[in-house]
Amino acid sequence: MALIGILGGMGPLATVDFMDKVVRLTQASRDQDHLPMIVANLPHIDDRSSAIIDHGADPLPALLDGIDLLNRNHVGLIAIPCNSAHHWYEPMRARSAAPVLHIAQTCVAAVPRTARRVALLATGGALVSGFYQQALTELDIEPVVPDAAMQPLVRDCIREVKAGDLDAAAAHLEAALAMLAEQGIGTALMACTEIPLAARRIGKPPVTLIDSTLELARATVRYACERGWNRPQ
């Protein structure tokens, strides 16, 4: 039986949200119709953003330990519901026997064809890394990186989700989205898996939000169901 491998804990609520989306996207009328998964929820992996921006401790050894753990458990695919961790996508992919989905590829594929300018709601680390800017540019879409007034709101939104205060997180996100709307930006990528947990608390956001967690879950379910992992023999 093939299993989905999830390298998670970055952060833990985002991993729970990702699993929830995988379960809800799976057509099922009973337990046995669902997809099997092994989840390595490893919250002690060093902070990705600090490593990218501030020369903080390198998370790569622990990320590779997680990849090894999942492969030892014979997973057939790996999904990593943390955008910033994809700064190290190449070494993780190279280490893994199982294919590793790339969250930015699945997310930018969901941008409407008509969008010409798309804002990036992400950690400072992911923005400095630049892989989202590259993925959008390859599709001839102009990435809009938040300015110095807006990025602290995005950062605080992410921080509050990690600390479990979703109401505070939603307030920061709402202020950031209002700025985007004022700037005439119609579409934004929630390119950090904490942000969708805050967005759920906002009634009607003033810009179209694309959810990287949801798009990664869609790609995961598609891959696994195409291969019949929900119907083991």
Binding residues for a copy of itself, rule: CB under 8 A, are: 1, 9-13, 15-16, 19-20, 23-24, 28-47, 69, 73, 159, 162-164, 232
* Closest separation in Å from C-beta 23 to a copy of itself: 4
In whole angstroms, give the CA distance from residue 173 to residue 170: 5
Which lies closer to a copy of itself via its Cβ, residue 40 or residue 144?
Answer: 40
Q: Which CB sits closer to a copy of itself, 29 or 114?
A: 29
We find the least distance from the C-beta atom of residue 118 to a copy of itself, in angstroms, to be 27
Quick check: 18 and 6 in contact, CB under 8 A? yes
CB of 126 to a copy of itself, least distance (A): 15
Q: Give phi and psi for 28, each to the nearest 5.
A: -155, 140
Closest CA to 216 of 101, 84, 63, 134: 101
d(CA 205, CA 202): 6
Considering beta carbons, is residue 75 or 120 the nearer one to a copy of itself? 75
Distances (CA, A) of 22 to 83, 108, 149, 215: 17, 19, 35, 10
**Is 38 or 202 the residue whose CB approaches a copy of itself more closely?**
38
CB of 95 to a copy of itself, least distance (A): 18
